[in-house]
């Protein structure tokens, strides 16, 4: 599992402190841009970190909810904007207590098996919090929002979810880490969203029945207050341990050229959502 974490060099692009004016749509456009540059060999393996203010990120299936407009209106009334992402999964909560990490890796000639991508992120998180001697499992937590086979949990309570985006021989393995705050409060918000957006109507797709008690933040699970900065330091330590050269960087010239196009694509996808 350590294989993909080990890279000749790691570039870190830290956007965790950019603030409220950094829109989540920019994040997904940026990851697509990085997939294209890293996949073509024009940039090294890159870790990007990001935090967004009160945003609900919807999955493609969420856009098919029968009363989606009502659900989005409810979220807006609660102070959350909602967008739809271009990677898999269902609705998740982003706020100042949630750190997102994207590992953008080049596909080798044989390609990166999808489970190997997930395992790499799982291993990274285990390494980051090894000192707490807590068993971090990767399995679906029924009752969580955006459930999947690589939900990360401690003692049956989910604190993170992993997704992947593959584009032009680049792989973005993305995780949201609930660092602090109440995991169950976040889950309650998504529970209420589905109750409003689906009601009792039968749908072809089975949406999760949220059980707020099965979700928690790392601070709650580890019994210590963690900040985004604390977790960033742990991430940097692990990346440094797994490369000959770790450096802070920004988008290169190619990426700055590619970004507007990828950003526009996700804007257009979300404009369609507004028309629904």
Question: What is the mean predicted confidence (pLDDT) over 238-253?
Answer: 95
Q: Half-sphere exposure of residue 251, counting CA atoms within 13 Å on the CB side?
A: 19
If one compares 110 and 242, the residue with the highest pLDDT of the two is 242
Active centre residues (catalytic): 146
For the chain, give the mean pLDDT: 93
CB 208 within 8 A of CB 147: yes
Q: Is the pTM of this model over 0.85?
A: yes
- For residue range 186-198, what is the model confidence (pLDDT) as tens digits? 999 999 999 999 9
Residue 127: exposed, middle, or buried by beta-carbon count in 10 A (0-12, 13-18, 19+)? middle
Q: Please name which of 135, 137, 132 lies closest in space to residue 153, comparing C-alpha atoms.
A: 137
Q: What is the pLDDT of residue 272?
A: 78
Number of domains in the chain: 1
In this model, does residue 47 exceed pLDDT 90?
yes
Range of the domain at 84: 2-275
**Integer Cα distance of 162 and 146 in angstroms:** 10
Q: What is the pLDDT of residue 22?
A: 81
Question: What is the mean predicted confidence (pLDDT) over 6-29?
Answer: 89
**R_g over Cα of the chain:** 18
* Contacts (Cβ under 8 Å, ≥6 apart) of 49: 12, 13, 14, 15, 16, 99, 100, 101, 102, 232, 235
Q: Where are the beta strands (DSSP E) in 139-217?
A: 152-154, 157-167, 170-178
Q: Please name which of 87, 92, 12 lies closest in space to residue 50, comparing C-alpha atoms.
A: 12
CATH number at residue 138: 3.30.930.10
In this model, does residue 21 exceed pLDDT 80?
no
Q: What is the pLDDT of residue 113?
A: 80
Q: What is the pLDDT of residue 275?
A: 67
Question: What is the mean predicted confidence (pLDDT) over 164-175?
Answer: 91
Q: What is the pLDDT of residue 1?
A: 41
Phi, psi for 130 (deg, rounded to 5)? -60, -30
């Amino acid at each position: 599992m350590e294989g993909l974490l080990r890279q000749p060099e790691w570039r870190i692009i830290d956007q965790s402190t950019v603030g409220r004016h950094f829109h989540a749509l920019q994040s997904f456009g940026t990851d697509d841009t990085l997939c294209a540059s890293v996949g073509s060999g024009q940039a090294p393996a890159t870790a990007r970190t990001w935090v967004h203010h009160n945003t609900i990120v919807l999955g493609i299936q969420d856009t098919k909810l029968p009363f989606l407009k009502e659900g989005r209106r409810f979220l807006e009334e609660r102070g959350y904007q909602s967008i739809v992402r271009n990677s898999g999964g269902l609705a998740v909560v982003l706020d100042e207590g949630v750190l997102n990490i994207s590992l953008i890796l080049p596909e080798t000639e044989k390609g990166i098996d999808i489970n190997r991508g997930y395992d790499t992120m799982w291993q990274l998180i285990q390494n980051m919090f090894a000192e707490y001697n807590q068993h971090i499992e990767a399995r679906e937590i029924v009752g969580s929002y955006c459930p999947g086979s690589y939900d990360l949990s401690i003692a049956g309570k989910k604190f993170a979810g992993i997704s992947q985006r593959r584009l032009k021989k680049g792989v973005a393995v993305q995780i949201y880490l609930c660092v602090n705050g109440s995991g169950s409060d976040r889950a309650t918000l998504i529970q209420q969203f589905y109750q409003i957006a689906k009601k009792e109507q039968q749908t072809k797709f089975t949406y999760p029945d949220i059980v707020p008690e099965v979700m928690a933040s790392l601070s709650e699970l580890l019994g210590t207050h963690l900040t985004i900065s604390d977790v960033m330091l742990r991430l940097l330590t692990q990346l440094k341990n797994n490369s000959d050269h770790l450096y802070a960087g920004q988008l290169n010239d190619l990426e700055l050229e590619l970004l507007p196009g990828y950003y526009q694509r996700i804007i257009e996808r979300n404009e369609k959502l507004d028309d629904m």
